[in-house]
Structure 1
Amino acid sequence: MPACPSSPQNCSNTFAVICKQIRKVVKQISTHQGNNKVGFHLVKIIQILLMPPALMFLIMLAGGLLMRYSRPHGKRIVIAGFALLVLASLPVMPALLTPLMEDTPPLAKAAIRHTNASAIVVLGGGSYPQAPEYGNDTVSTTTLERLRYAAYLHRQTNLPVLVSGGRVFKDNRTAEATSMRAVLENEFSIPVRWTEDQARNTWENAGYSRQLLARENIKRIILVTHAMHMPRSILCFEAAGFEVVPAPMGYHTHAGGLSLRHFLPDARALSQLNTLMHEIIGILWYRLRYL
């Protein structure tokens, strides 16, 4: 990349050109993604490679390859990748960073009946495909947590419920929303009025939900999803034209503050940091692609 000219105005212009080129590339990938399944899965693969632990392994792999040409530089990169992997596995990292994403306050119990919303929209959070104990597809643990809170809100408000989620991967024989509806109706005794079963991501959750609810002139909704997923969800649903009453749940709480265990490697910390990075990358991607 050429050096940035000394003039602040020229620097700004150079940065604008770079951003424009990035947007152009993103649009090209997006067009490819929208036209076929290969593009959709390509984006998913790129996203995985940009998150821990894959990102750290890529850094170490790059360092290993560089060692063939410059052993000192390659060795430093390998060490840096390993150090990042260890750092990412320390519980102190998600403990400090997660509150930055889980910044939407919970819906106060006293306010639940006074939201002026016309519907509850609950987003799918993954499937449990071909569950052997049930003999078919069902909802994941993440989705079940969201359904539980949606059921609680329905009992408090008696608002109609929309479930949203399609078939993201081919091993899902059943759309997420179909399984979500079955669980809400059969296990929680909560009726589901709308089933949105086409969406493959949060942006599509918002768009397809808008199509369904616009038919009944419903614009103001209570939106149910995990606290960490809520910022991206609000971004998408407001862009689709909704007035959103956030109802986040599933916060990562750290009662008692930091302790020795927060500085010992833990696979769960790596998983939580992966989820955090997934949300950050998702927001950046949607802003580049759609907004």
Structure 2
Amino acid sequence: MFILKKFLAALILPPLGPLILIALGLLLAIYRPRAGRIVATAGLLAALALSTPATVKLMLDGLESAPPVSMQALQGADAIVILAGGRRSYAPEFDGETVNALSLERIRYGARLARRSGLPVMVSGGAPNGGTAEGELMKTSLGEDFGVAVRWVESRSRDTRENADYCAAVMLPTGHRRIVLVTHAAHMRRSVEAFEAAGFSVVPAPTAHLLNRKPDDGAPPSLPGMSSAYAGWYASHEWLGLLAYRLSR
């Protein structure tokens, strides 16, 4: 089921999803020109929408809604949970494997909160593609690069829902129910839903916002680019995940 879910997501999400629509439209146009043009145009418009800053901002607006965590909220929490974002399998400069850029952004902020609050830290992330579990790599980086000790390591999870369930199995029996949850701002809405469903009381601690909320100061509209295309993929991934949560209830 996990592999099927990932395969279907790859077919739907950009860049493959819009490209499949365009290809289907071109093939359909051989037999039904009008319908083929409609399908191909839909694929082209989807590709543009998912890489254009103006439309990507609209998609992110409903995801990156959690405010920065406050010191008062930290003081009322029992622990900090940092979610993995992936690993870099080829890292010879680190003697093999290490966390990728997404995980690094999360543990950097989690380390900052841990030093400020003194709260114990849990890291969560398995090895869905083989290799060393992301949780273990996060623990190593937090200790060696940021000087922050990790109390618990969850190393079996393959997705956000499993992050929540496996963390609950470890933390709830010990009374650590109110957690500060650290992940990307665009990933926070789905993460909060999963961890609350698992029995936690969640204090969101978002980091690495993709949506720039500062005024553009009269700058002309931005054209599609690499950054907006990545943000469009990320936002699409999160909305698709939220839809899957609704359908699986």
| TM-score of the superposed pair, with normalisation by structure 1 | 0.81
**Any conservation in 1 of the 2:99–2:137 contact (CA below 8 Å)?**
yes
Aligned pair partner of 1:271 in 198, 219, 230: 230
Q: Residue 174 of structure 2 aligns with which residue?
A: 216
Asked if residue 85 in structure 1 is aligned to residue 47 in structure 2, the reply is yes
Q: Percent identity?
A: 38
Aligned to 1:117: 77
Q: Flag the 1:91–1:113 CA change in 2: closer, same or farther, 3 A.
A: closer
1:95–1:254 CA contact under 8 A, matched in 2: no
Secondary structure in 2 aligned to 1:260? coil
The residue type paired with residue 274 of structure 1 is W
Residue 87 of structure 1, CA deviation: 3.0
Deviation at 1:156, TM superposition (A): 1.1
- Structure 2: which 5+ residue stretches go unaligned? none
Residue of structure 1 equivalent to 2:113: 153
1:135 — aligned with what?
95
Partner of 2:241: 282
Contact 1:93 1:269 (8 Å CA) reproduced: no
Aligned length in residues: 247
Residues 73 and 203 in structure 2, CA contact (< 8 A), matched pair in contact too: no
**d(CA) in 1 for partners of 2:100, 2:93:** 13
The residue identity in structure 1 corresponding to 2:246 is R
Aligned-pair CA distance for 1:94: 1.6
> What is the root-mean-square deviation in Å for CA atoms of aligned residues?
1.5
Aligned-partner residue type, residue 84 of structure 1:
A
State how far apart, in whole Å, the 2-side matches of 1:165 and 1:157 are.
23
Whether 1:104 and 2:66 are equivalent positions in the alignment is yes
Distance 1:210 1:167 in 2: 19
Residue 106 of structure 1: how far off its partner (Å): 1.1
Q: Per-residue displacement from partner, 1:54-84 (whole Å, max 9, x unpaired)?
A: 1211111111221121123212322332232
SS of the residue aligned with 1:259? coil
Alpha-carbon offset, residue 216 of structure 1: 1.3
Kept in 2, the 8 Å contact 1:150–1:224? The answer is: yes
C-alpha offsets along residues 13-47 of structure 1, whole Å, 9 cap, x if unaligned? Answer: xxxxxxxxxxxxxxxxxxxx1xxxxxx22210101
Matched, 1:226 2:184: yes
Distance 1:87 1:121 in 2: 34
Equivalent in the alignment of 2:9: 47
TM-score (norm 2): 0.94
For residue 268 of structure 1, what is the amino acid of its counterpart?
S
Alpha-carbon distance in structure 2 between the residues aligned to 1:79 and 1:241: 45
Change (3 A) 1:214 1:113: closer
Name the amino acid aligned to 2:225. D
**Equivalent-residue separation in structure 2 for 1:288 and 1:88 (angstroms):** 23
